[in-house]
Amino acid sequence: MELTVDQRWDLVDRISKKTVTVGDYKATLKDALADVTVRPLTGIPFAIAVLYGFWTFFGEFAGLLTDGFFVRIFGTHWIPWIGEKLAGLPDWAFTILVGDRAVFAEGFLGDPCFAAGGVLTTGLFMPFGIVLWAVLALFLVLAVLEDTGYLPRLAVLLDTVMHKIGLHGFAVVPTLVSLGCNVPGVTAARALETRKQRFMIIALLGVFVPCGAQIGMMEELIPHLIGWVFLTLAIGYFGFGWILNKIWPGESPEILMDVPPYRAPQWSNVWRKTWMRTRHFLFVAVPFVLLGCAIVMVLYATGAMDAIAGGLEGFLATVFGVPASATPSLVVGFLRKDLAIGLLPIGAMTTYQVFKSVILLSIYFPCLATFALLLRELNWKEILATLGFLVVTIFVFGGVLNLIGMAGGW
């Protein structure tokens, strides 16, 4: 039997009266907290407190394991032992696997974990002594925020701000994931609705969002500058995002997201998500860390690094104002940004030169694993646009920082 529109509404009304119970609504503490955390006036201070707690946990957790255990294990035991066991290798093989033989013979002027440089010394210390614990802390906190239901509220809270650069609040998810590793961050960008939004967030992640490897190195080597580094990268993220939104065609629809109620995290889910993401880092990113370290040491062993650094020294000093001693590190940055930060001659540079060099390392070419994923996620037009965006960003951002340093006499 076919019903008219009015008959259908009458049927709906009769069914609802039999199935829906109407009563007085009493807001619980959980409901009040859910409301408070999405209103800008109260939600923004709450978000700042959450992020501060997140950063404090990250610093304490990663610092405890790195400085408390792995610096001692590698610097005092592993590196001297492997240097002694492989001392009979030819110079070129010793340089690649262990480090500069002269450095071992004369004694380390700085931290042996960084000064050694070989694949089996610094190459192992960086991913397993520093980066792994930074990434683990980042992914653990992210899993807790997801499981409690706070992450969707953070997306709603930031929706208005993100719309200023052509994105919506959900873009905060791939951005936070990229703080652990850019590879799953780029993959998370698939959830955005339009091609324009996916291209924009991938381009911004590849340039302005440092991964856990870089963050771990910065936290270990320049903790006094890391706040300024993040502030500068955030300015670039929103500034260049606004420009991209103006020049790149496409649509930026409104956010449509299910906001679940707050709930206690299920620790089985938290550990499963943390392990899944950390395993992805171990099997995808770590091989590229070791490959990058091997390539760098081959360049050193063959003398190619000196030739490349000598050719770029004048250009980098003129355009970006970096000292000659930092040129090899900037060259290494095309292979591994985190390794390059560890190789910066911090003791021979001014504070502003260190800050400027870390910014340059953060904003140019993404790591090899991320670039390989870009080739799969973007079409040829978007890849060329991303590379052009990288070049423009490096020269504009780096040039401005150099001018600021010259004006301030830094």
pLDDT digits (tens, 9 = 90+) for 147-184: 888 888 888 888 888 888 888 888 888 888 788 777 77
pLDDT value at position 296?
Answer: 77
pLDDT value at position 205?
Answer: 86
Instruction: Name the residue among 133, 123, 152 with its Cα closest to residue 288.
Output: 123
How many domains is the chain built from?
1
Instruction: Name the residue among 314, 309, 398 with its Cα closest to residue 356.
Output: 398
For 127, the domain range is 39-408
pLDDT value at position 16?
Answer: 82
Q: Mean pLDDT throughout 262-267? A: 85
pLDDT value at position 157?
Answer: 83
Q: What does the pLDDT look like over 55-75, one tens digit per residue?
A: 788 777 877 887 778 888 888
5 pLDDT tier (thresholds 50, 70, 90): confident
Residues linked to residue 99 through DSSP beta bridges, in sequence order: 117
pLDDT value at position 107?
Answer: 65
CA distances from 36 to 32, 33, 255 (A): 6, 5, 20
At 189, give phi and psi (nearest 5°): -65, -15
Q: What does the pLDDT look like over 302-329, one tens digit per residue?
A: 878 778 877 877 888 888 888 887 888 7
Q: Residue 209: inside a domain, yes or no?
A: yes
23 pLDDT tier (thresholds 50, 70, 90): low
**Angle, to 10 degrees, between the axis of helix 195-208 and the axis of helix 368-377?**
170
Q: Residue 5: inside a domain, yes or no?
A: no
Q: Residue 335 CA to chain centroid, in angstroms? A: 16
Q: Residue 58: inside a domain, yes or no?
A: yes
pLDDT value at position 108?
Answer: 61
Give me the half-sphere count of Cα atoms (radius 13 Å) on the Cβ side of residue 42. 9
Q: Residue 13: inside a domain, yes or no?
A: no
pLDDT value at position 190?
Answer: 79
**Angle, to 10 degrees, between the axis of helix 380-408 and the axis of helix 304-320?**
70
For CA atoms 375, 171, 60, 232, the dihedral sign is positive
Average pLDDT, the chain: 81
Please name the residues in contact with 324: beta carbons below 8 A apart, sequence gap of 6 or more. Answer: 309, 313, 317
371 pLDDT tier (thresholds 50, 70, 90): confident
Asked if residue 241 lies in contact with residue 205, where contact means CB atoms within 8 angstroms, the answer is no
Q: Mean pLDDT throughout 221-243? A: 89
Q: Residue 20: inside a domain, yes or no?
A: no
Q: Residue 301: inside a domain, yes or no?
A: yes
Asked if residue 295 has pLDDT above 60, the reply is: yes
Q: Residue 27: inside a domain, yes or no?
A: no
Three-class SS of residue 31? helix
Residues linked to residue 117 through DSSP beta bridges, in sequence order: 99
Q: Residue 24: inside a domain, yes or no?
A: no
